[in-house]
Amino acid sequence: MGIGKNKPEGHADGAGVTPADAAPLPNPKPQSQIPALRLAVLASGRGSNLQALLDARRDGLPLEFVLVASDKADAPALRRAEAAGIATLALDPAAYPDRAAFDADLFARVAAHAPDLVVLAGFMRVIDAAALAPWAGRIINIHPSLLPKYRGLRTHERALAAGDAVHGASVHYVSAKLDGGPVIAQAEIPVQAGDTPAMLAERLLVQEHRLLTATVALIAAGRIALVDDGVRLDGARLAAPLRLDADGRLAGA
């Protein structure tokens, strides 16, 4: 993951040291003994960010996917989850009297799986404040802009129309305000001459995957928390969002 402190103690650091001259490791914690972060992922479509998290788990990130849920029964994200043997849920908003009723039922079902963290990964709905309230500090979203710029839709098109030299993506805690909660981390890409919205989206998506997995890795390591509406890293309030560097590390972490 490129996050040094997420490495289990006593794992790679002892490489090249023979047992005879190795000092006893203080409290060694093999990755298998780090409790896995229980994740529920909500997605409306393709699910490439979900896939990035699945790939990170395959590569050793301590995650346990307890549920993948969608508001679209035909979302490819659900097929990815099924292929990975993860419980899925599809609920049709049209079957509910209003948004509040849908969100109340969706989040009651999510809660039944007792996730530590809910990840909105391309979940294309604004969530009712009452349904969100119990999840404060335990629900994050990935959004394809450098928030607070370009909340909502068509972010790539809007960045181009504004003549921005730099575009990017943000992972933030979810609040009742659209794309409005405290930002944890961001990834930037340069806008290039001749870029179309589709070209920007394609290049940014690669960075989104790295950004989301790196951020979830920090949360799994217990290093990130939302306190009094501010993001803390290792207990210290972040003055600005963490930045993804060229190696996929979150600078400042």
Interacting residues toward ligand GRF by CB under 6 A = 43, 45-49, 121-122, 142-144, 169, 205, 208
Of the pair 83, 112, the CB lying nearest ligand GRF is at 83
Nearer to ligand GRF, 6 or 70 (CB): 70
- Work out how close the CB of 252 gets to ligand GRF at its nearest, in angstroms, rounded to a whole number: 22
Tell me how far, at minimum, the Cβ of 48 lies from ligand GRF, in Å.
3
Q: Which residue, 137 or 197, has its beta carbon nearer to ligand GRF?
A: 197
Using the minimum distance from each CB to ligand GRF, give the nearer residue, 46 or 232: 46
From 143, 156, 172, 209, the catalytic residue: 143
Minimum separation from the CB atom of position 36 to ligand GRF (A): 21
- Indicate the residue type of 63: L
Closest Cα to residue 74, out of 45, 53, 98?
A: 45
143 given a catalytic annotation = yes
- Least distance (Å) between residue 168 CB and ligand GRF: 11
Residues catalogued as catalytic? 143
